[in-house]
Amino acid sequence: MKDYKAYFIIPASPSQVYLALTVETTIHLWTGEEAQMEAVPDTEFSMWGGSIAGKNLAFEPDRKIVQEWYFGDETEQSIVTIKLHEHKQGTSMEVRQSNIPDEAYDDIVDGWQNTYAAALIDFYME
């Protein structure tokens, strides 16, 4: 199992980024895919047409999202923590993901960098 940490600069305020990550209709706008999301702990979510699915664990409006991402039959939970920090160019989005299965690590890193963060950045650059 591996861990991943990265920072992405999103050209929008922390409150805008938070809404983009927690409101179904906004998630659909920046991903182009159906989403199921409710900013309530202990609810399940899915994004990117089900490619990302899991359970919401905690929310701090405009500041922090904690989720468990499912990986098939893995026994250890993969926990994703997204922290939003004000930045002179908008928001610094800090991403931490723990317990990524070794065989999925490269795909997860690529997904964070070239799909998830890239789509969010593009959404606010338009």
Rounded distance between C-alpha atoms, residue 90 and residue 43, angstroms: 29
Q: What percent of the chain has pLDDT over 70?
A: 98
Q: What is the tally of structural domains in the chain?
A: 1
C-beta atoms surrounding 34 within 10 Å: 13
> Each residue of 95-116: pLDDT tens digit?
999 999 898 899 999 999 999 9
Domain range for 33: 2-125
Does 74 have pLDDT greater than 70? Answer: no
Does 126 have pLDDT greater than 80? Answer: no
Q: Is the pTM of this model over 0.85?
A: yes
To the nearest whole number, what is the mean pLDDT of the chain?
93
Phi-psi region of 3 (alpha: psi -120 to 50; beta: other; left: phi over 0): beta
- The DSSP string of the chain is -EEEEEEEEESS-HHHHHHHHH-HHHHHHHHSS--B--SSTT-EEEEGGGTEEEEEEEEETTTEEEEEEP-TT-SS-EEEEEEEEEETTEEEEEEEEEEE-GGGHHHHHHHIIIIIHHHHHHHHH-
CATH number of the domain at 101, please: 3.30.530.20
Q: Which residue in 15, 10, 6, 37 sits closest to 91, CA to CA?
A: 10
